Structure 1
Amino acid sequence: MIMTDNNNWKKVAFRNSRGLTLAGLLYGTPEETGDIVIHCHGFTGSKEGGGRALELGAELGRRGWSTLVFDFAGNGESEGDFANITLSGQIDDLTCAVDWVLKQGYKRVVTVGRSFGGSTVICQGTRDPRVAGVCTWAAPARLLDLFASFTDEPIDGPEEMVAMAGEGGIIYLKKAFFQDLKLYDVPGDAARLAPRPLLIIHGTRDGVVPPEDARLIFEAAGEPRELVWIEEGDHQFAKHYDQVWETLFDWLDRHFKRSAS
């Protein structure tokens, strides 16, 4: 399903393997370029990224790339209950997004993810050889440690739900979320991405995900790999998003010469 809006973005929808409809926005067409970036939001985020993700997609369009942004299940306009989210579920959502863009006629897919979306693109990319390259922004490497720090409740107790501190207040997740995190090793998955390129971007002043996590991912990864520090950058890159964008553009130019339209 595709509908055109007034900003050159098209509303799209596709299903994940659990039968939930995911809401997305697409900039560009496969007739204009065979190359597409799938941009994944962070924990409790949304496809628009407060508008920044849409601005980035428009700029990528001027540089010859289409962009798909979408809401993971349970987030934004997508179906599902946020309390049911898991990393496995997000990996499935992203895999179905890759399925969808390839069916539209795109030939080359690069994934970009911020924060928990960054962990997702690493874990998904190593399992999906159709992904040509992966870029992360402020991605956590030690998932269980990070998310356990957001709650004072035991994550292995008898209760089904865990209350966590989120940016917008208290949120609730099922304990299956934490059990599922134990199935994944983000640095280990980064090691298996090679020889596909990996770009890791992290702020030196990230107060949510320790910069050391970026180092752990980088040291585990094979070549070609790059770690770019954004000096004084916080978790949102609030005052430094232009540097993040330019780093991404440069990486795309060096590793992915435009395929023929």
Structure 2
Amino acid sequence: MADSHPAQNPVTEQRRVIITNKHGEKLVGLLHEAGSKEIVVLCHGAASNKDYRIMVNLAAALEKEGISVFRFDFSGNGESEGSFEYGTYYREADDLHVVVRHFSGENRVVSAILGHSKGGDVVLLYASKYRDINIVVNVAGRCDMKRGLAERFGEDFMEKIKKDGYIDVKQGGFEFRVTEEALMDHITMDMREPCRKIDQECRVLTVHGSADDMVPLEDALEFGEIIPNHQLQIIEGGDHGFTSHQTELASVIVKFIKSALEEDKVAPKCS
């Protein structure tokens, strides 16, 4: 039976948390403490950080539902230690694993992981490798890593990188260098194989904007074909950052996570 009482906004506090990864680098994050034992961990995209608009707005939306949230910077990004590198998908999945273990050690439960753009790929890789999270949200992640390289780096990017050994890139006001090794690591990353290995019990939601000009909708459709337990939500008119669709994005994600958490609570336990 549904609760007949109106929902009350919980009293929340934000606490800075520092967690050391397996390379000895300090990862800096912000815990939005809403009083729940369960925590949702939010993962930013490439050349971004925990303060990206989507991360902040989703944290606020989940807080309102009484769900605690942790958003953090991967190593080499934002306030976290380490050098920024292009690629490093599995390294970031390992950063996420350290975060999950940290909260498990505090008798908390990371019940869901969410990533935007590159972070979407990271949470999917995490789910296939560690298999200890049953709720995963992929927001505008890329399935085919070879798509869109010419648009990002220029038509002659391979000639440039073969000649100079690197390409200098500007993205959202952030400048970074892509080495040939890092580029090849990106190109050879095959998301299809790990996605097929995600456990059937793991519920995966992919949210994608129909007007995303950075990662085409085709990638989201492909995830739907290969991930065992998958839902796809297309936000009409949404761009890669869901610039004019933040409220709709948050509504879709909060509804999915709350529903999945409720299912977990009523599911019979194995003896």
TM-score of the aligned structures, taking structure 1 as reference length = 0.87
Alignment-derived partner of residue 186 in structure 2: 181
- Measure the CA separation in 2 of the matches of 1:75 and 1:159: 25
Q: Percent identity?
A: 25
Per-residue deviation, 1:75: 0.7
Which amino acid in the other structure matches residue 179 of structure 2? Answer: K
- 1:208–1:182: structure 2 CA closer, same or farther, 3 Å change rule? closer
Q: 1:110 to 1:229 in 2, by over 3 A?
A: same
Most deviating of 136-145 and 194-203: 136-145
Q: State the match for 2:51 in structure 1.
A: 48
Counterpart amino acid of residue 61 in structure 1: E
Q: Distance in 2 between matches of 1:207 and 1:84?
A: 20
SS in 2 for 1:46: coil
What's the CA shift for 1:88?
A: 2.2
Q: Which amino acid aligns with 1:172?
A: R
How has the CA–CA distance of structure 1 residues 95 and 182 changed in structure 2, closer, same or farther, with 3 Å as cutoff?
farther
* Secondary structure at 2:254 match in 1: helix
Q: Is the 8 A contact 2:100 2:110 kept in 1?
A: no
Q: CA deviation at 1:149?
A: 4.2
* 2:24 counterpart SS class: coil
Deviations 1:49-95 (A, max 9, x none): 14x42342233123132111000111100111113651122111111
Conservation of the 8 A alpha-carbon contact between 2:86 and 2:183:
no
1:173 deviates by 2.3
Could you tell me how far apart the structure 2 residues matched to 1:234 and 1:42 are?
15
Shift of 1:147: 4.4
| Residue number among 98, 101, 105 corresponding to 1:103 in the alignment | 105
Amino acid at match of 1:215: L
- Contact map agreement 2:87 2:183 (CA 8 A) in 1: no
Deviation at residue 227 of structure 1 after TM alignment: 0.4
CA distance in 2 between counterparts of 1:157 and 1:106 reads: 48
Of the three residues 208, 223, 243, the one matched with 1:217 is 223
Over 3 Å counting, the alpha-carbon distance change for 1:108 and 1:21 in structure 2 is closer
Which amino acid is 2:260 matched to? H
Q: Which residue of 2 aligns with 1:232?
A: 237
Report the counterpart of residue 169 of structure 2 in structure 1.
Answer: 164
* Kept in 1: contact 2:33–2:68 (CA 8 A): yes
Contact kept? 1:38, 1:69, Cα under 8 Å: yes
**CA separation in 2, counterparts of 1:85 and 1:202?**
21
Change (3 A) 1:48 1:259: farther
8 A contact 1:28–1:66 mirrored in 2: yes
**1:87-120: per-residue Cα shift (whole Å, max 9, x none)?**
1221111111111121121124211000011011
Once the two structures are superposed, residues 100-150 of structure 1 have per-residue CA deviations (whole angstroms, 9 ceiling, x without a partner) of 121121124211000011011101111112212110111111124344642
TM-score (norm 2): 0.84
- The answer to whether the aligner puts 1:21 opposite 2:26 as a matched pair is yes
For the aligned residue pairs, the C-alpha RMSD in angstroms reads 2.2
Q: Residue 62 of structure 1: which of 61, 64, 75 is its match?
A: 64
Off by >4 Å, runs of 4+ in structure 1: none
Q: Tell me the SS of whatever aligns to 1:68.
A: strand
How far apart are residue 170 of structure 1 and its match? 4.4
Is 1:206 aligned to 2:209, yes or no? Answer: no
Cα deviation, residue 19, structure 1: 1.1
| Number of residue-to-residue matches in the alignment | 250
Q: Distance in 1 between matches of 2:182 and 2:150?
A: 11
Letter in 2 for 1:212: E
Change (3 A) 1:186 1:85: closer
- Sort the Cα spacing of 1:228 and 1:84 in 2 relative to 1 into closer, same or farther, 3 A: closer
2:14 to 9, 17, 24: 9
2:8 aligns to what?
none
Alignment gaps of 5+ in structure 1: 1-6
**Unaligned runs of at least 5 residues, structure 2:** 1-11, 267-271
Contact 1:74 1:84 (8 Å CA) reproduced: no
| Residue identity opposite 1:217 in structure 2 | F
- What is the identity, as a one-letter code, of the residue corresponding to 2:166? M
Alpha carbons of structure 1 residues 170 and 28: separation in structure 2 relative to 1, 3 Å: closer
Q: Which residue matches 1:241?
A: 246
SS at 1:131 equivalent:
coil
Q: Take 1:169 and 1:72, find their aligned partners in 2: how far apart are those partners?
A: 15
